[in-house]
Amino acid sequence: MPPINLQTFDNNHQFVAWFRHASPYIHTHRGKTFVLSFEGAAVSSHNFRHLMHDIALLHSLGIRLVLVHGTRQRIERNLQERDIKQQYAEGMRITDGESLEQVKAACGQITSDIRALLSMGLSHSPQSYANIRVVGSNFVTAKPLGVRDGVDFMHTGVVRRVDKAGIIEQLDNQCVVLVSPLGYSPTGEIFNLSVEDVATSVAIALQAHKWLCLTEVNEPMSEDGYLTLQEAQALVETRQDAESFRQLRNAIRACENGVERVHLIKRNIDGGLLLELFSRDGVGTMVSRDPFENLRQASIDDIGGILSLITPLEQEGILVKRPRDKLEAEIHRFIVQERDGAIVACAALYPYTEDRAAELACLVVSPHYKGQRRGDALLAFMEQEALQVGINRLFVLTTHTAQWFQERGFVPADLDTLPVDRRRLYNHQRQSKVFFKPLEFKDKASLNGNQTLAAF
Ligand SMILES: CC(C)(COP(=O)(O)OP(=O)(O)OC[C@H]1O[C@@H](n2cnc3c(N)ncnc32)[C@H](O)[C@@H]1OP(=O)(O)O)[C@@H](O)C(=O)NCCC(=O)NCCS
């Protein structure tokens, strides 16, 4: 038998683990509509080719993609080369007839470059066999920005409407749709638009599942890379100035108008798009129309998620083994904490109403989410739920976690303090220690602001 190459084994092992880990995301994203926008600077960057490979990969995984590209840098280069002086007002380009020609040229150059890169299919390259059809059209109707404070913006415009049906038709035909920041008017005029305006409008028109916005600047906006719509709204109130907060305002507008999620991802992270879409915590800032996390009563569909949390602990002897049918029968006793569709924590409450006591069991936080005091949030929630149904003492039976409970107000107690029915079930082989905690009402608002507390 040949010797085992441990190095290869390690790599193989990591690859398989990574691929398996990505599979739920692959299932979730398939068939969804994503708008992906990037600025002109991305097109001339060294890793643009990699971005195109990643886009091809997303397409082959069944994601319906609309690409919105910027042109700013290319326009500036074209104007400089021709010694045309550019004028700005209110941070926007004033597009006169001469610069409009350069805007059109820049769009033509960039769309050709993108088409060329997405057409690549050399064998052994990331895009071999991809066969992507890229389609662009007059999907955006625009109107002039007009005269503001005495300044005529001429051919600089804003989006008036998006041809939703036209885009959907192309997506249904398995095409990647490419939208340039140019808009056309019913009078036959052409307008220079901002990439953000086009991307936001397209995402809203399509009611996209995601708008992935590759940004040139990206200040950290939240510790865990996640903002609810309300949090994002509160944050922009405090910062009117910074560039990345301008992007955040667009993200808010998109979410307020029906886009499920907006991801602001630093463009210069190689593979940032894949990391954001296929890894647990991503690399960008996500603004979500709906709560990303939610604490709720478990249902039969959560059995798999709960088992994946508790089985390793049962094997270690930290939790007592629960047969699957028992878990199914008792599922209504469980609450789960769900994060982006995955169960990351759970706990169960078994009331002994006559004794006005309840057992807290199966309190588990996924090892991937340690250090965030989720256990405290679950415990606080369970305490309040117990109080709601007239329970005034919580008890736990534990072999490994005594100290954690003691630090949270549980005190050691004798076996005979347990409700009689529970005492009969006591497993004398396990020799679990018993702890009780007297309960008192707390303000629910002080529990965990991020969570939707469902009645249990
Ligand atoms: C107990 C548990 C739910 C806490 O999860 P958590 O809130 O994510 O814990 P965190 O990682 O945020 O740590 C919070 C604190 O608890 C401490 N802690 C975690 N596990 C502990 C344990 N078994 N004993 C004592 N302290 C513990 C941590 O050290 C930390 O304290 P510190 O910051 O002062 O060092 C989690 O460790 C778990 O799932 N344990 C296995 C299942 C279990 O034993 N459940 C209880 C029986 S039902």
For the entire predicted model, the pTM comes to 0.73
Query: Which residue shows structure tokens 């569909």?
Result: 301
Task: For residue 319, report the distance from its CA to the centre of ligand 1, in Å.
Answer: 14
Which residue owns the Cα nearest ligand 1 atom 21? Answer: 404
Which residue owns the Cα nearest ligand 1 atom 25? Answer: 404
**Is the CB of 231 inside a 6 Å radius of any atom of ligand 1?**
no
**Is the CB of 362 inside a 6 Å radius of any atom of ligand 1?**
yes
Mutate to test the pocket of ligand 1, among 313, 319, 346, 401 (most ligand atoms within 8 A of CB): 401
- What is the fold of 294-446? Aminopeptidase (3.40.630)
**Is the CB of 163 inside a 6 Å radius of any atom of ligand 1?**
no
Task: For residue 403, report the distance from its CA to the centre of ligand 1, in Å.
Answer: 9
Domain spanning 6-292: CATH superfamily: Acetylglutamate kinase-like (3.40.1160.10)
**Is the CB of 400 inside a 6 Å radius of any atom of ligand 1?**
yes
Domain boundary assignment for the chain: 6-292, 294-446
Per-residue pLDDT of the chain (456 residues; tens, 9 = 90+): 445 555 565 778 888 888 888 888 898 899 999 999 999 889 888 889 999 999 999 999 999 999 999 999 899 898 999 988 888 888 888 999 999 999 999 999 999 999 998 887 666 666 666 688 999 999 999 999 999 888 999 999 999 999 999 999 999 999 999 999 999 999 999 999 999 999 999 999 999 999 999 998 767 777 778 898 999 999 888 876 666 688 899 999 999 999 999 999 999 899 999 999 998 778 899 999 887 778 999 999 999 999 999 999 999 999 999 999 999 999 999 999 998 788 999 999 999 999 999 999 999 999 988 888 899 989 999 999 999 899 999 999 999 999 999 999 999 999 999 999 999 999 999 999 999 999 986 544 444 433 433 323
Mutate to test the pocket of ligand 1, among 374, 400, 404, 410 (most ligand atoms within 8 A of CB): 404
**Is the CB of 137 inside a 6 Å radius of any atom of ligand 1?**
no
**For residue 155, which amino acid is it?**
H
**Is the CB of 398 inside a 6 Å radius of any atom of ligand 1?**
yes
Of 455, 456, 451, 454, the C-alpha closest to 294 is 451
Which residue owns the Cα nearest ligand 1 atom 2? Answer: 375
Which residue owns the Cα nearest ligand 1 atom 32? Answer: 371
Rg (C-alpha) for the chain, rounded Å, is: 28
Query: Which residue shows structure tokens 């971005």?
Result: 51
Task: For residue 404, report the distance from its CA to the centre of ligand 1, in Å.
Answer: 6
Q: Which residues neighbour 134 within 8 Å (Cβ) at sequence distance 6 or greater?
A: 114, 115, 118, 119, 175, 176, 177, 178
